[in-house]
Structure 1
Amino acid sequence: MDRDGADPEHAGQPAIIAPMFRIARTLALAFCMAVAAAAATVAPAEAAAELPGGKANYVVSLGHLKDGSTHNNWVRLGTYAFDAASGTVSAKMYVWSQAAPKPRIGTGTVPDASCTTTDPKSTTRVLDCEVKTIDGFTTSPNETRTGVYTLQTDTINGVPTPTVWISWNHATAWTEKWAIETGTGLTRLSFLHNTKATLGYGYGSNASLGTRRAMSSVQAHDATMRLDGRSWSKDTVTISSGVFQNQAFTTCQTTTWCLTHLQPTSARACQKDGGCPNYGGGTTANISSIQYYIEKLSNTDRRDTLWHWCTCLAMERGERCYTGNSHVKPMLQVIDDTGTFRGWVGVEASFWPNGGTNPRANDMLSVFRLADWT
């Protein structure tokens, strides 16, 4: 969520909770290609009389993020539903692309006074701003497709590994392949190959895709949730990692579908590239803080949204609630077989709103998982 002109918050984006979005400038493409190259089929495909990892319903995030590309990157977020009887899979996805950038929109929710403040100098609470998300995420998915799948065993890094291969019914050839990892009440998909995407994450269970947990459960979840992500900004793909401290967030008493958190000091993240020349450099007036908001978007599906931005960037514009290049991150809850919240898969779709000769160069896109795994 960022600045006019030089976009410092592509570095502030990872500041969710230090060191949650710690960024190392490592190419994601090299990682994905190396993993895909390691897979060599050693067993014939089985008839699709089984589910991947024994699970029917998955939440999935995908992206096409490449260094040096400023117009062809995209992210997808949605669900896969597998049917063992027919060997078919159906996808319902939200799609955001640099080819058709979308604006941020208000969700209609201003968190109540128990978890916000009107004082921009507060060192304990976020400001009472209307939570924003990316246009399109408050409605139904804008892409649906169907396909067929097969299960097989591949050797990956010398280890026999269950995999699922999907072939989508699409105007152009589109296949993808995932390694299947089984955990406690949950199956994880690890990206191996995709005709169109460069990376992705997935988690599945037999809980219905309409099952979700309240924000109070999200805040109280006591298992460590770790971040694994790839981010694109300034023509460069980087790796994000860290730990999400969900219990640092505050629950709201009347707007119970919201969580908020003020990260008090984030000078390095917020002032990278000179993002706050007039208001950066100190913490007395809380000018180096980051404002974080998480909101549930539906009672009937897994949608949550994360919004965050540097306080000093709003001050630079003479604003209380930031209208610049803030970070908007649609997310889907990971729910296990028992209906327990286990984290999220998500994307960032923060398109530069301030014009200029090459606005797409200042976009911030990412694909990530933020979940516990046992």
Structure 2
Amino acid sequence: MPLSLLALPASAVPAQAQAQAQAARQLPGGKVNFVVAVGHMTATSRANRVRLGTYSFDAASGTVAARIHRWDHTEPRARVGTGTVPDDSCSTTSPSTSATLVRTCEIQTAGGFAAEPTDLGSGRYQLQTETVDGRTASVLWILWDTTPLSTEKWAVETTSTLARLSFVYATDATTGYGYGSNAPLTTRQAMTAVRDHPAPLHLQGQTWAHDQVTTAGGLFQHRSFQTCVRTTWCLTHLQPTSTRACQATGGCPNHGGGTPANVTSIQYYLQSLSPQDRRDTLWHWCTCLALEQGRTCYTGNSHVKPILQIIDDAGTFRGWVGVEASFYPFADADPRSHDMLGVFRLTDWT
């Protein structure tokens, strides 16, 4: 599509004095604030990248503002500690493989995610009706004020309280997910509400690892997480056995045989990073990897997954959009081949 399509005439831009209902019709799905995860992943490339952040739309000016955290394959960032160690109500200091709680470890996240986003952008947007995958759809075009100019195209679906962006095309991305509402981006739900969310959360996404891009799917067992009594901003979960996930990589030659069964367990940690915004983080790793190191807590290539809460107009938690930005921490002839990057959603509306 020619970029001239996005050069909106002044008459097409809603005037500031127009009624609120008219302004809403000029917003994607009638919603102002979106959480968005976007990535560019090519199987054999070592120049992949993922982005996670917020888009805020202004119907009066026809503009959109972005606040983005970005991770690039070519500029790996080390994991960082969040400063949170789950208390003894939801974790254990015992290294025993018969333990039923996760280990008492400082939760890790991707480098830079504990700070404010540094990739700030602006652009213009247009809504129009097009045919997408054989169906008539509302389509959102965004032209970002970048050098060179970059373009995104999303199909828009909406309910009364939530809008969804389905990725169609971008000049610098291959996949993405977005959800928006009229709730302020300062609105979020506590971990207790996340734990008690009654609807199933479905996983959908793409992951890059070892020069392959694969599709992720399944159910996220958020109701299996343990609520921490004192560190109330985090949840933990010990998945008892996961032989396929923890043995498939060959990373546990001495402790991956599944005897006892908890050797192949997975340690899951879920934490809110701020009470003032949508940032949460998910951290997980196979127990046998820590055993291979002779440590209580794994210090190797664990999975760090920054996530942003999806909140609808009523302020209800509806899941997350997220990325994985797990960069290999050890010296190696080809360390970038061991990185793990991903873009995904965990939500009750897929």
When normalised by structure 2's length, the TM-score is: 0.92
Measured in 2, the distance between the counterparts of 1:283 and 1:166 equals 54
1:281 corresponds to 2:257: yes
Q: Output the CA distance in 2 between the equivalents of 1:48 and 1:160.
A: 24
Matched-pair contact (CA < 8 Å) for 1:48–1:149: no
Aligned residues: percent identity? 59
1:204 and 1:334 in contact (8 A); partners too: yes
1:83 pairs with 2:62: no
Aligned equivalent of 2:41, options 46, 65, 78 = 65
Deviation at 1:68, TM superposition (A): 0.8
Partner of 2:84 in structure 1?
Answer: 109
Could you say what secondary structure the match of 2:195 adopts?
helix
Listed one character per residue, the Cα deviations across residues 121-159 of structure 1 (whole Å, up to 9, x for unaligned) are 244200000000011001010100100001100012332
Equivalent residue for 1:356, pick from 308, 328, 332:
332
| Pairing 1:315–2:291 present | yes
Match among 12, 30, 33 for residue 54 of structure 1: 30
Alignment partner of 1:245 is 2:221: yes
CA contact (8 A) 2:207 2:340 kept: yes
Partner of 2:23: none
TM-superposition CA deviations, 1:301-337 (whole Å, max 9, x none): 0000000000000100111100000000000000000
Which residue identity lines up with residue 333 of structure 1 in the other structure?
Answer: Q
Alignment match, 1:256: 232
- Deviation string, structure 1 residues 330-364 (Cα, Å, up to 9, x no partner): 00000000000000000000000011111000000
The answer to whether the 8 Å contact 1:123/1:264 transfers is: no
Rounded to whole Å, the distance in 2 between the matches of 1:97 and 1:365 is 9
Question: Which residue of the partner structure matches residue 133 of structure 1?
Answer: 109
Q: Which amino acid aligns with 1:47?
A: A
Unaligned runs of 5+ in 2: 15-25
What code does the residue aligned with 1:148 have? Answer: R
Q: Quote the Cα distance in structure 2 between the aligned partners of 1:367 and 1:220.
A: 25
Q: Name the CA distance, whole Å, in 1 between partners of 2:13 and 2:267.
A: 47
Secondary structure, aligned partner of 2:57: strand
Matched, 1:98 2:73: yes
Contact 2:67/2:119, CA 8 A, preserved across alignment: yes
Matched, 1:304 2:280: yes
Question: Which whole-Å CA distance do the structure 2 matches of 1:273 and 1:172 have between them?
Answer: 40
What is the 5 A alignment of 1:172-191? 172-191=148-167
Match of 1:292 among 264, 268, 280: 268
Q: Single out whichever of 117-126 and 298-307 deviates more from structure 2.
A: 117-126
Answer whether contact 1:307 1:326 (CA < 8 A) is retained: yes
Q: Structure 2 CA distance, aligned partners of 1:274 and 1:179?
A: 41
CA distance in 2, matches of 1:122, 1:170: 54
Q: Is the 8 A contact 1:74 1:97 kept in 2?
A: yes
Letter in 2 for 1:94: H
Runs of 4 or more above 6 Å deviation: none
Matched, 1:329 2:294: no
Match of residue 146 from structure 1: 122
- Contact conserved, 2:240 with 2:261, CA < 8 A, in 1? no
How large is the RMSD of aligned CA atoms in angstroms?
1.6
How much does 1:283 deviate? 4.2
Aligned equivalent of 2:177: 201
Residues 116 and 104 of structure 1: CA distance in aligned 2, closer, same or farther (over 3 Å): same
Return the TM-score normalized by structure 1: 0.86
Q: Given that residues 47 and 150 in structure 1 are in contact (C-alpha distance below 8 angstroms), is that contact kept between their aligned partners in structure 2?
A: no
Which string of whole-angstrom CA distances, capped at 9 and with x for unpartnered residues, describes residues 272-316 of structure 1?
A: 132211111124262110000000000110000000000000100
Conservation of the 8 A alpha-carbon contact between 2:129 and 2:138: yes
Specify the alignment match of 2:20 in structure 1. none
The amino acid that maps onto 2:12 is: A
Q: Where does 1:213-252 land on structure 2 (aligned, <5 Å)?
A: 213-252=189-228
Number of paired residues?
A: 332
Q: Tell which has more relative contact order, 1 or 2 (C-alpha 8 A, sep 6+).
A: 1
2:18 — aligned with what?
Answer: none
- Alpha carbons 1:350, 1:363 under 8 Å: kept: yes
Partner letter of residue 340 of structure 2?
M
| Closer/same/farther in 2, CA of residues 289 and 115 from structure 1, 3 Å limit | same
Structure 1 regions of 5+ residues with no counterpart?
A: 1-35
Counterpart residue number, 2:318: 342
8 Å contact from structure 1 (residues 48, 151) kept in 2: no
CA distance in 2, matches of 1:60, 1:123: 37
**Change over 3 Å in CA distance of 1:210–1:240 after alignment to 2:** same
Query: 1:184 and 1:127 mapped to 2: Cα distance?
Result: 42
In structure 1, C-alpha distance between the alignment counterparts of 2:212 and 2:141, rounded to whole Å:
29
